Amino acid sequence: MEILPSVELESPLGVEVNAAIIWLHGLGADGNDFAPIVPQLATPDNFGIRYVFPHAPSIPVTINNGLVMPAWYDIKGLDSDRHIEDKEVQQSAQRVHNLIDREVQRGVSSERIIVAGFSQGGAVAFEAALTYPKSLGGIMALSSYFATADTIDIDPIHNTIPIMICHGTMDSVLPDSLGRKSFATLQNLGFVPEYNDYAMEHAVCPQEITDIGNWITRVLLK
């Protein structure tokens, strides 16, 4: 089983880990990208959360003139269709499945595992979480889009999974129309996602971080 190298942060010493958040970075970043915001999430110490921030493999990226960089899949164009290969998203989703399996082996119930991602990491989070064969705690997609909406084979076990979508209204990389399209698509599929927008570019902002922390707390209190 392939296990991606990751940055891991855990609750304070002495608190048993009983939940996990697997958080995927965006194009060209790595697992260190979102680790610094963990203290800002202000989730209760006694929740016992392990944060796993995996590093994507480095591959040539077409839109960046073939430059090799960390990426979950290649992007061949910047129009609304993005021109991606679903197979590459599915391959990355399988890597996430392996990380979920490892957390289960470590003693974390799958129902207390959240899959999160920023930008193309969010696209993989949708694919990975909705095709995983066991119940999960939730999905969080930040400044992202539902790349495989037309091809995904959703496992019905996730019919009631909590989903949080966050997007910047001034995002020039992935316009917020893509976030809203993801929201509408999920609603049409019978899900009840939560949508939050913010006056920001392709980034995260303090209010969003607060909202993410509150959402994680609500999900893990169930």
Residue 89 token pair = 């998203």
Write the DSSP string, 109-172.
-GGGEEEEEETHHHHHHHHHHHH-SS--SEEEEES---TTTTT----GGGTT--EEEEEETT-S
Q: Which of 86, 155, 176, 202 is catalytic?
A: 202
The owner of tokens 């939940």 is: 19
| Residue 134 Cα to chain centre, angstroms | 17
Active site residue 83: no
- Give the closest residue to 23 by CA, choosing from 8, 10, 12: 8
Active site residue 119: yes
Q: Which of 11, 119, 143, 144 is catalytic?
A: 119
Q: Which of 30, 33, 74, 171 is catalytic?
A: 171
Q: Which residue type is seen at 185? A: T
Any residues with CB less than 8 A from the CB of 62 and at least 6 apart, and which? 74, 75, 76, 77
- What element of type H or E holds 24? strand 19-24
Q: Are strands 19-24 and 113-118 parallel, antiparallel or unpaired?
A: parallel
- What element of type H or E holds 178? helix 176-188
The owner of tokens 């209190």 is: 221
Positions marked active-site = 119, 171, 202
